Chains A and B, each alone.
Chain A
Amino acid sequence: MTALDRIAHAGRWRRLPLAEKALLALGLLALALILPPWPGAVLVLAAAALAALAGARVPPGAWLGAFAAPAAFIATGALALVVTWGEDGLALVAEPLVAVRPALRALAATAALLLLALTTPAPVLVKALRLPPELADLALALYRFLFGLLDTLRAMQAAQQARLGGAGSIRSAGLLAAALLPRALERARRLEIGLAARLHTGTLDTLAAEPAPSPRRLAAIAILLAAVAGGAAWLQ
């Protein structure tokens, strides 16, 4: 499992109705995009981080760990915005602050995405998309195969390194990928045979019903979102 997935499955907000978590996280995500980055994005970032840390009680270390990787990518992306292709190669732009706005917006949006990802397991979200049953099955099968394959890949990498395999060479990586794909397909085939042997014809859906959202909490979330938007307008 990935760190995000583990927290989402075991977290305090796991059993809360999806509509409440989605309204909060996607509402903050929309605000991050719509509000002016200063002070809007800063308020959204604070609200999303607070909801995850204080509300859902995500361990601070885990939240920072999950936030660090995308933040590093955003920083690299922002660096690309402060340089320009001048007459003598790359040069700094006249106004380096132009990069701060998209970076702030992206950081706030990432915090909102994390709020959803850390409180709601991905299959719950896939189910809420109401895809055609064939595609929903496909997405759920993909999700279920992920973790087994990741473990297999790690074991194969360890085995390759233990045999002094050229870790990092294209040939080694290619052999790993080539060994993994037949294993993945074979696992799928065995599972299919197993299902067929049990005369399975239905869907792979195994999720329990989601609890109904509470109108009071939905209203409270809407008020919170309005407060963030109002606070941003006021501070500006």
Chain B
Amino acid sequence: MSLRREATPASVPAVRRGDALDVAGLPSYGFGSRSLMWWGTAGMMAIEGCAFAFMIVIYFYFRALDPGWPRGGEGSAPDLLWGSLNAFLIVLSAIPNTYVEKAAMDRDLGKVRKGLIVLSAMSIGLLVIRWIEFKHLNVGYDESAYGSTVWTLLGLHTFNLVTDIGDSLVLTVLMFKGPIEGKRFVDLAENAGYWDFVVLTWLPIYAVMYWAPRV
């Protein structure tokens, strides 16, 4: 209980000493919006989220101009299997991710390590599936407006996916190898927040890439 109360901003007041305001007793790190990197990550999500939204708008704009979209009719839409498998696994990965986030906020190293191992294994599986996905897009990136749009859309999401998997793997190694300080648990919580973003953005992109050509 006390942990949660102390996690609220300005819960430890600075102390007045003469003309000075003594801040030596303040915590040296904080979770959520108390952390500077939280704001950086939120800004990054805003930028990347806008890029995804623009690409989806571009997708439908080109589609409205091109009656043969995707070229060759329904048969040339990306294969449903791999994208759907990815969507399933990525939503499933939210479970160990939330587990790691909670454990990080409780600063429970044992639980953090357990969760990170599961998350790392799943994320490597996701990378393999993503690789196969690219092979089953059924269109070249330089073939048509459709091909370029689909490759860019999947490429943008893959960029975020690879970045966050890299971050997760680096943090996993660090949690086993050290050196660890309290601030690193904030890094873990923020990494988990970004993973949520990667999971949530895949759902609309998956719907557009795999279902829009079929309806």
Query: Do A and B share a complex?
Result: no
Chain B residues near A (Cβ < 8 Å): none
